[in-house]
Each structure stands twice: as C-alpha cells, then as structure tokens.
C-alpha cells in the first residue's frame, strides 16, 4: 500500500506587484487631468498695498474674497475704467444684494458649525479710493458679515530697516 504524504507549510502565493507602478501612474495622470486649480478669472487689476505687520490666514476654505479695482484691458470697453467690485466671476451691480447672495453661496459650501468663522478678505487695488471700499464694508455689515480682512503684501524694505 502506498501512503500519501501531506504537504507541510502550505502558504499562499505571493502577490505580484509588477503592475503597481502602472496603477499609480494612471491615478496620478487622472488627478492631474481632473484637478481644477482656479475656478474663476480675475477681471480687475489688483496691486495690493504693502504692510509690515501681516497675519497669514490659516483656513483658506473659510475665506471668501472680494476684489476691488479697475477692469483689465479686455473688459474696459464694456465696463469702463472706473473701479469695480468683483465677486466670484461677476462684477457686482447692486452691492447690497450681490454681496448678500455671494455670502450665502459661500455659506452653503461650509459646514454650518463654522459659519461664524467665515472671513471676507478684501483685495483692493492700492490706487482705489476709500469710498468704494467703505461701500463694500457697509454692504458686508448689512449682510451680517463682520469678520473682514484686508489683503496686503509684505513691505520688505521697511521690515529690513527695523522701522
């Protein structure tokens, strides 16, 4: 009679990783194609003023930006050369109504618990008069948006001299 021997040490075969680089490059390519870097284009010229004491905003998802400046060249024929307010991709026509709608659209994207932490950043051109900035601030106040930030670039000359 013959005896059957049991095979000892049965282990599962090793998984082949030869196709792993292909899969990673396919995913990388997919995300490179699908990712959108900026949703809208800036339609106004903005050269922010310089400042020495700046604070960086941490949570960018809680910040909505209002641009104030003269329209760029391709929009000057339509909108003129007077400073305009840009919200998302559109110029504001009625400041109170448009800003309130702009803020509500942003609140829909943010968790309800974080609504009190939403900050409106005003990026105004250095050559814009305070009248239009004050109008924007008044419209923000009417829409109950009380956290306002003014964007500025660092003044390296003054920081280096210690003034």
Categorise residue 144: left if φ over 0, alpha if ψ from -120 to 50, beta otherwise. left
**Strand-pair partners of 85:** 68
User: How confident is the model at residue 41, as a pLDDT?
Assistant: 76
Residue recorded with tokens 């040490």: 9
pLDDT of the chain, 163 residues: tens digit per residue: 567 666 666 677 788 888 889 999 999 999 988 887 666 678 898 988 888 888 888 888 899 999 999 999 989 999 899 999 999 888 999 999 999 999 999 999 899 999 999 999 999 999 999 999 999 999 999 999 999 999 999 887 755 544 4
Convert the pLDDT of each residue in 129-151 to its tens digit.
999 999 999 999 999 999 999 99
Phi, psi of 44 (to 5 degrees): -125, 155
User: How confident is the model at residue 19, as a pLDDT?
Assistant: 86
User: How confident is the model at residue 42, as a pLDDT?
Assistant: 83
User: How confident is the model at residue 60, as a pLDDT?
Assistant: 86
Q: How far is Cα 4 from Cα 86, in angstroms, rounded to an integer?
A: 84
User: How confident is the model at residue 15, as a pLDDT?
Assistant: 80
Q: What does the DSSP assignment read for 45-66?
A: E--PPEESS----S-GGGEEEE
User: How confident is the model at residue 92, as a pLDDT?
Assistant: 92
User: How confident is the model at residue 160, as a pLDDT?
Assistant: 52
User: How confident is the model at residue 58, as a pLDDT?
Assistant: 86
Indicate yes or no: pTM above 0.85: no
User: How confident is the model at residue 1, as a pLDDT?
Assistant: 57
SS3 assignment, position 72? coil
User: How confident is the model at residue 88, as a pLDDT?
Assistant: 83
Helix (H) or strand (E) holding 27: helix 20-34
Residues in CB range of 38: below 8 A, 6 or more apart: none
DSSP 86: E
**Strand-pair partners of 123:** 67
User: How confident is the model at residue 138, as a pLDDT?
Assistant: 95
């Amino acid at each position: 009679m013959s005896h059957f021997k049991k095979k000892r040490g049965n282990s599962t075969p090793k998984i082949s990783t030869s196709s792993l680089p292909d899969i990673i490059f396919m995913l990388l390519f997919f995300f490179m194609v699908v990712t959108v870097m900026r949703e809208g284009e800036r339609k106004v010229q903005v050269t922010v003023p310089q400042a020495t004491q700046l604070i960086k905003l941490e949570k960018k998802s809680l910040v909505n930006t209002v641009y104030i400046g003269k329209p760029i060249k391709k929009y000057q024929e339509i909108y003129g050369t007077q400073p305009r307010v840009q919200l998302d991709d559109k110029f504001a026509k009625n400041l109170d109504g448009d800003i309130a709608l702009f803020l509500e659209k942003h609140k829909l994207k943010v968790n309800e618990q974080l609504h009190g932490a939403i900050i409106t950043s005003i990026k105004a051109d250095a050559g814009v008069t305070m009248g239009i900035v004050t109008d924007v601030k008044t419209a923000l106040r009417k829409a109950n948006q009380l956290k306002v930030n003014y964007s500025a670039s660092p003044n390296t000359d003054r920081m280096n001299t210690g003034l």
